[in-house]
Chains A and B, each alone.
Chain A
Amino acid sequence: MKFFQLLKILLFGPKVTENEQTIRDFPVDAQFEKVGEELKATIKRLYGGRSLRIRAVDAGSTNAEEIEFTALNNAYYDIDRFGLTFVASPRHADMLFVSGPVTRNLENALKTTYEAAPSPCIVVALGDGAIDGGIWKDSYAVVGGVEKVIPVHIRIPGNPPRPIEILRGVLQSLNQKNF
């Protein structure tokens, strides 16, 4: 039964490949590509041909930042091609993306994550909350910006920052500073 179903899909089923014309017409985000290419060159210069490895840490965000991190991997952005990649452990990371105001309940976890990462580890505070606590900073449950817990090297404002803003922020700081 399954076999016939498969055969049916194979012969009459929905087409999985786009035709050539639609691929050609695929809108290219020129601005994004430009930032990406520059970033690629910078990473190559700094890391000698290997990727820049990023570990994402949610220190109390509203989960919008996480959605944008996930978006960085979709086909529109696909940051792996520029030599940036998200890794599963801080022990493999060159860079931490920290989002959200640091809550009291996550203070220790954030510290441990930073300590687990090999130095030098570049810390990026992503979003208004991570920079100074944002609208949450007055709360009893919030410690404040990321810099109250671990050193911060790059700050990217936004609520949350768009994918292109994230890359632009990383690029600018990597070019300016010497870590």
Chain B
Amino acid sequence: MNIQEILKKISEVKIVEIKNNTVFATVSREDLARVSTSLVDEHKLFLSSLYGTDNRKENQTFGVNVIFGDDANHQWLRLSASLPENDPSYPSITRTIMAAHWYERYMQDMFGVIAVGHPDPRRLVNHENIPEGTHPLRKDFAVNTKLEKANVPYPMHHIEGEGIFEIPVGPIHAGIIEPGHFRFNVAGERILTLEGKLFFTHKGVEKLMEGKNPKDALPYVEGISGDMAASHCLAYVQAIETISNCNVTDRAKMLRTLVLELERLTMHIHDLANIGGMGTGYSFIAANGFRIKERMMRLSDDIFGNRFWREFITIGGVTKDLNDLQLKKILEISKDAYFEMNKIVMLALASDGFLDRMQTTGVLGQEAARAFGALGIAARGSGLDRDVRRDHPYAAYQKYPTTVSLKKKGDVHSRYLVRIEEMKVSIDFIEKIIAEMETGDVSVPVEIKDGYAISAVESWRGEILCALEIKNGVIERCFPRDPSFCNWALFGIMGPGNIVPDFPLINKSLNLSYSGTDL
């Protein structure tokens, strides 16, 4: 049953528009939570994103937009509800759909929209220093506002009892990683509860993009998360192209896919090395893995002039064409990197000590993964069969079907194996794309139109969902949802029961982006 058929059964919902596999529908705010619950529970759609909009100028309302994914029918559904300006509240969706949890807290901070009955309505993005009543994404809030320094409490979960200790960690960590604060409540070595306080690197990306020409906003998109620049960029430009009815040439599509797979290969090599080396102290695999990854980064430097696969994907295609010599070089180096890394992980997987650390550590059950809306490696490691490349194909994935790697156990080991298999899928893609590369132009002129669109890309971390609205030629609202945003909440499930020294390993097995979450 596709989305149109499902919606026919729900009389409260009104379909506004159907465009490119996306159904736009509205519902009253009272019915939003109930309809969403029925879509998720009965019709097995996934709650993929939830974001607010400020429409007070046009019709004195705030908007709440929930995006659902229908994997089987390759469709998206955006369900919107309007809230009156003087009472911006609606019944909370989180009460029945756990995946909405952070989104609603996020919206509460950014728009001052209240989800009534939210089980945990604490602050999320706004730390202690942000005064009460600050809602940066409201249209009357200027981007360069200089805020006062406040001291509003930001309480964290705390449990008491005999022999129970609290371990605070961060935001500045001992290793070279991004900033985030974690609170462990432990009895002995075992973790009882684990909570993270993030949004330290909140830079206001969404607000900075607002009112900008879509072309000028590209540097911000590439700066959402430095290690997935190409994926974020593709999600964003695809949204623009959908709005503007622009058809990218086949060659550009293939080149885009190529650079995405190269990014995936590079970062999977990094993760495989990092989980082994920094997570368990198995330095042999780290030393070799980081060396191999450096070759991939140098390859990027060689071809694109930067070490992060950036500045290639652009609106209407790609910034430059690659000649046969460059393609040959890409194939040669990435194949070599893959084979070498594969040899090394095979050695690592024969090490009992290494397996012992990974197996049964940080288990995420399939039910929990589904309830929390886990994405990417976290989902596939727990047997949740989701991959945007297959479920909502884009670029060259429309032409080449993807093999989805799936493991059932949900522990660190499963996620490790998923990465190894995906590395193989990536290199096969790279080989196939280069062998069958189309000829022709690599970019087409784009006349940017007004409108809105949703675009999804499977980055190496998981599904990026970029919701974009363009009005009067400038960005009205852009919410580039990073997969990390959904996956952070999983630590509350994966952490407890493990010992504290296993936490870094679990953390590295997901390797989430702080910058991408914090926006």
A contact residues vs B (CB 8 Å cutoff): 2, 5-6, 9, 13-14, 16, 56-71, 73-76, 86, 88-90, 100-101, 103-109, 112-113, 135-136, 138-142, 160, 162
Contact = CB atoms under 8 A, between A and B. Distances in A.
A71 B171 CA distance: 22
A114 B503 CA distance: 27
A170 to B, nearest CB: 16
Contacts of A104: 127, 129-130, 147, 202
13 contacts: A58-B179, A62-B225, A62-B515, A63-B226, A66-B226, A70-B290, A86-B176, A105-B202, A135-B220, A136-B203, A136-B204, A136-B208, A140-B143
A64 B308 contact: yes
Given A14-B343, A103-B200, A105-B200, 10 more contacts: A58-B201, A59-B179, A64-B229, A70-B290, A71-B290, A75-B291, A86-B176, A90-B172, A139-B144, A140-B145
A67 B511 CA distance: 13
Contact of A63 (B144, B145, B147, B515): B515
B485 to A, nearest CB: 15
Interface in B346-401: 346-347, 350, 352
Interface residues of B, number: 52
Given A65-B226, A86-B176, A100-B201, A75 B290 contact: yes
A64 B226 contact: yes
A145 to B, nearest CB: 14
Contact of B347 (A14, A60, A62): A14
Contacts of A162: 301, 307
A104 B204 CA distance: 11
B25 interface: no
B117 interface: no
Q: Which of B203, B204, B229 has the most CB of A within 10 A?
A: B203
Contacts of A16: 347
Most buried by B among A70, A86, A138: A70
Interface in B287-326: 287, 290-291, 293-294, 297, 301, 307-308
Interface string B165-180: 0000001101111110
A88 B173 CA distance: 8
B347 A101 contact: no
Interface in B134-189: 136, 141-147, 171-172, 174-179
A56 B172 CA distance: 9
B413 to A, nearest CB: 16
Which 3 A-B pairs rank lowest in CB-CB distance, beginning with the nearest? Answer: A64-B226, A88-B174, A139-B204
Question: Which residue of A90, A136, A162 has the most chain B CB atoms within 10 A of its CB atom?
Answer: A136
A63 B130 contact: no
A88 B220 CA distance: 31
A105 B176 contact: no
Nearest to B308: A64
A58 B177 contact: yes
B179 A106 contact: yes
Contacts of A101: 203
A9 B226 contact: no
Given A14-B343, A136-B203, A162-B307, A61 B171 contact: no
Nearest to B288: A75
Dominant SS at the B interface?
loop
A125 B332 CA distance: 37
B178 to A, nearest CB: 5
Nearest to A88: B174
Contacts of A63: 178, 225-227, 513-515
B219 interface: yes
B224 interface: yes
A76 B204 contact: no
Nearest to B307: A162
Contacts of A109: 171-172, 179, 200
A66 B172 contact: no
A93 to B, nearest CB: 11
Nearest to B350: A9
Contacts of A90: 172
B208 A62 contact: no
A141 B202 contact: yes
Contacts of A112: 172
Given A58-B177, A106-B179, A138-B144, A5 B208 contact: no
Contacts of A138: 143-144, 208
A100 B223 CA distance: 11
A66 B203 contact: no
Contact of B200 (A60, A67, A71): A60
Contact of A66 (B177, B219, B291): B177
Contact of A106 (B171, B175, B229, B307): B171
Most buried by B among A56, A68, A76, A139: A139
Contact of A139 (B208, B224, B297, B308): B208
B352 A2 contact: yes
Nearest to A106: B200
A139 B484 CA distance: 23
A13 B346 CA distance: 9
A40 B179 CA distance: 30
B207 A140 contact: yes
B199 interface: yes
B352 A69 contact: no
A109 B129 CA distance: 12
A88 B224 CA distance: 26
Interface in B206-250: 207-208, 219-220, 223-227, 229
Contacts of A66: 176-178, 226
Contacts of B171: 106, 109
Contact of A76 (B203, B208, B291, B343): B291
B350 A64 contact: no
A141 B225 contact: no
A12 to B, nearest CB: 12
A31 to B, nearest CB: 14
Contact of A105 (B127, B177, B207): B127
Given A69-B176, A104-B129, A113-B172, A141 B226 contact: no
A42 B196 CA distance: 42
Given A58-B179, A63-B513, A136-B208, A103 B294 contact: no
B227 A64 contact: yes
